[in-house]
Chain A
């Protein structure tokens, strides 16, 4: 109860202003899930807690996804951090798209932020660019031993070439976003929590 209430500031559930992306009811559900994953009741999650999820361990990009919960080399994530990552996947409501107050910080589940989340799955060293080497490494994660090195290299080369516009041999976030401008990101990167 402590984590949730401290996260929500007041003990009786007014969502704090920096969390507009997740509704109150969903927060309660996520907190329940957080506690279920926290096997030793530590109050935070470590990598091993997430690795225990069988269906995540069989996901080829499981490790990259787990890494996204531990930015800046940290080893534990509390409920606030947990909900923050998951807030990226909240479906975008029809009302208010593009009409949010520019004074307010961009909601976590905006199109740009969803794209940023996907970008950092590729960008291993978090330098803001996907180099050819990083592309290769992520591809290797996705295919395991099923594909030869030359094939993978040619795929990586081609992909970086197609997306790279300023010729620096790497894909920046803006180039990445441009490649995917027609993509229906809002739907593909959204998970709907049942009421």
Chain B
């Protein structure tokens, strides 16, 4: 049984009121400018301050580790072992040359020492391979005060721990509730807005309304995570146009929000249930997107047909596709699936690069579900990314879809500073195909028995 003195209840009331007022003010302060596309530069200041703090924290950690003689784990983005980029043939020839005193002629032959090549190559991949590390979050060179990025989680100094604790407090008690409130507002805005626009008859006015609505809604969503986006919009002509396909590298579901903040696209994807389904249906009311039933996705021809129809209709918006097919950790670009490159439309490549210092946007779908992922997003400092719009590309007459896809992929990798890999992103879940092993075996057989022509000659 509580007996609250009148004095106490007054304080509680005042506290409650002031908190509510503060919150509302914040919401208004953030949402209204978002709708009108105005920015006060607060985020840039926030980022600068954070960077200074991170640099100090990393130095402190290194100094502390040296004092106590600990071994700190230092991440290496370029791989942890020294590798020689020589081919199978060269290496085996090298090995044979170093082992035998007799002059090496080019007759195909087998040596016991050949095994060294395969043995060492195999061990190298066990120590460090190009693909496994792309499916986990990128490792940072300097610590950003989040325990999830600290590989040397041990007690170093009081100041550092206090700072980290402060960071936790700010992120979980201030940023998180704010962002959840913003997220709700954003989603309801989207649903309400698209329903209203759905009643407007087709025409130019409608498209304008749509564009404004979606952009403002996406901008609000951006503020949810304090996204600082830098769009490198070089010439206007690089922006995706109607009747084209916009292609980008995929790191997280947030990519969609980022691109849609700066343009309006028709989305392609599977029909979902639940909250995602509500959002999808709302979006369709306003403008035709291409949503597939799960059963249709397997049928590639059907998919290609629908995409082609959409692209031919010049009044429809450009399609947004992520040809990697899965989320990669934003240090590399993996194989592009050739489906979207077979259609024959103009391709507008877009490169998206996140700065992992403030928060890693990569969604490791095998480790975290959607809700955990969103929670991690909302409790990181900020999401910072750069978007480059590259000049449009079309398929040339003498290249097939796969070569075209690789060309686009290289352009995106070069612009974003990512590693261009030929491996399939599907390796996240499946094993590699045997055809690649056969290629290696073919190369090696040439060395020990030669080609058919050589054999018939000797």
Q: Is the CB of A56 within 8 A of B112?
A: no
Q: Is the CB of B112 within 8 A of A146?
A: no
Contact residues of A between 87 and 126, Cβ < 8 Å to B: 89, 117-118, 121-122
Contact residues of A between 13 and 33, Cβ < 8 Å to B: 13, 24-25, 28-30, 32-33
Q: Is the CB of A118 within 8 A of B440?
A: no
Q: Is the CB of A121 within 8 A of B119?
A: yes
Q: Given A53-B129, A54-B432, does the pair A191, B449 have CB atoms closer than 8 Å? A: no
Q: A167 at interface (Cβ–Cβ under 8 A)? A: no
Q: Which residue of A lies closest to B151 (CB)?
A: A32
* B448 / chain A contacts, CB cutoff of 8 Å: 143, 147, 155
* B3 / chain A contacts, CB cutoff of 8 Å: none
Q: Given A12-B69, A143-B444, does the pair A53, B126 have CB atoms closer than 8 Å? A: yes
Q: Is the CB of A55 within 8 A of B125?
A: yes
Q: Is the CB of A183 within 8 A of B440?
A: no
Q: B29 at interface (Cβ–Cβ under 8 A)? A: no
Q: Cα distance A50–B126 when bound, in Å?
A: 7
From the candidates A56, A155, A185, name the one contacting B125 in the complex (CB within 8 A). A56
Q: Is the CB of B118 within 8 A of A60?
A: yes
Q: Is the CB of B71 within 8 A of A176?
A: no
Q: Given A13-B71, A24-B71, A159-B112, does the pair A147, B437 have CB atoms closer than 8 Å? A: no
Q: Is the CB of B132 within 8 A of A53?
A: yes
Q: Cα distance A192–B114 when bound, in Å?
A: 20
**Shortest Cβ gap from A149 to chain B (Å):** 12
Q: Given A33-B80, A54-B129, A55-B130, does the pair A61, B442 have CB atoms closer than 8 Å? A: no
Q: A57 at interface (Cβ–Cβ under 8 A)? A: yes
* B98 / chain A contacts, CB cutoff of 8 Å: 182-184, 187-188
Q: Cα distance A11–B130 when bound, in Å?
A: 31
From the candidates A12, A52, A146, name the one contacting B442 in the complex (CB within 8 A). A146
Q: Given A118-B115, A118-B116, A188-B95, does the pair A146, B441 have CB atoms closer than 8 Å? A: yes
Q: Cα distance A156–B442 when bound, in Å?
A: 18
Q: Given A54-B427, A56-B126, A146-B441, does the pair A37, B81 have CB atoms closer than 8 Å? A: no
Q: Is the CB of A194 within 8 A of B124?
A: no
* A188 / chain B contacts, CB cutoff of 8 Å: 95, 98, 113, 116-117, 120
From the candidates B70, B80, B119, name the one contacting A61 in the complex (CB within 8 A). B119
Q: Cα distance A163–B441 when bound, in Å?
A: 25
Q: Which residue of B lies closest to A130 (CB)?
A: B112
Q: Is the CB of A151 within 8 A of B449?
A: yes
Q: Is the CB of A191 within 8 A of B81?
A: yes
Q: Which residue of A lies closest to B116 (CB)?
A: A188
Q: Given A29-B80, A180-B99, does the pair A146, B445 have CB atoms closer than 8 Å? A: yes
Q: Cα distance A29–B69 when bound, in Å?
A: 17
Q: Cα distance A188–B100 when bound, in Å?
A: 14
Q: A59 at interface (Cβ–Cβ under 8 A)? A: yes
Q: Is the CB of B112 within 8 A of A179?
A: yes
Q: B128 at interface (Cβ–Cβ under 8 A)? A: yes
Q: Cα distance A121–B355 when bound, in Å?
A: 44
Q: Given A53-B126, A188-B95, A193-B127, does the pair A59, B437 have CB atoms closer than 8 Å? A: yes
Which of B70, B439, B440, B442 has its CB near the most chain A CB atoms (within 10 A)?
Answer: B440
Q: Is the CB of B100 within 8 A of A182?
A: yes
Q: Is the CB of A61 within 8 A of B122?
A: yes
* A193 / chain B contacts, CB cutoff of 8 Å: 80-82, 127
Q: Given A12-B70, A13-B71, A194-B82, does the pair A58, B123 have CB atoms closer than 8 Å? A: no
Q: Is the CB of B437 within 8 A of A144?
A: yes
Contact residues of B between 93 and 109, Cβ < 8 Å to A: 95, 98-101
Q: Is the CB of B129 within 8 A of A194?
A: no
* A58 / chain B contacts, CB cutoff of 8 Å: 432, 436-437, 439-440
**Shortest Cβ gap from B357 to chain A (Å):** 20
Q: Is the CB of B124 within 8 A of A191?
A: yes
* A147 / chain B contacts, CB cutoff of 8 Å: 445, 448-449
Q: Is the CB of A182 within 8 A of B129?
A: no
Q: B76 at interface (Cβ–Cβ under 8 A)? A: yes
**Shortest Cβ gap from A135 to chain B (Å):** 9
Q: Which residue of B lies closest to A156 (CB)?
A: B110
Q: Cα distance A28–B120 when bound, in Å?
A: 21
**Shortest Cβ gap from A155 to chain B (Å):** 5
Q: B195 at interface (Cβ–Cβ under 8 A)? A: no
Q: Given A118-B119, A147-B448, does the pair A182, B127 have CB atoms closer than 8 Å? A: no
Q: Given A183-B113, A188-B116, does the pair A28, B73 have CB atoms closer than 8 Å? A: yes
Q: Cα distance A27–B423 when bound, in Å?
A: 29
Which of B69, B79, B113, B136 has its CB near the most chain A CB atoms (within 10 A)?
Answer: B113
* B449 / chain A contacts, CB cutoff of 8 Å: 143, 147, 151, 155
Q: Can you offer 21 A-B residue contacts whose CB atoms are under 8 A?
A: A12-B70, A28-B71, A36-B133, A37-B126, A53-B125, A54-B132, A57-B432, A59-B125, A60-B118, A61-B118, A62-B437, A65-B122, A89-B123, A122-B115, A142-B118, A146-B442, A158-B110, A180-B112, A180-B113, A191-B120, A193-B81
For the complex with contacts A33-B80, A57-B436, 13 further pairs of A-B residues with Cβ separation under 8 Å are A12-B69, A32-B73, A57-B432, A58-B437, A59-B118, A86-B126, A138-B115, A143-B441, A144-B438, A144-B441, A146-B442, A163-B112, A183-B113
Those 5 A-B pairs whose CB atoms lie nearest each other, nearest first: A144-B441, A146-B445, A183-B99, A65-B122, A55-B125
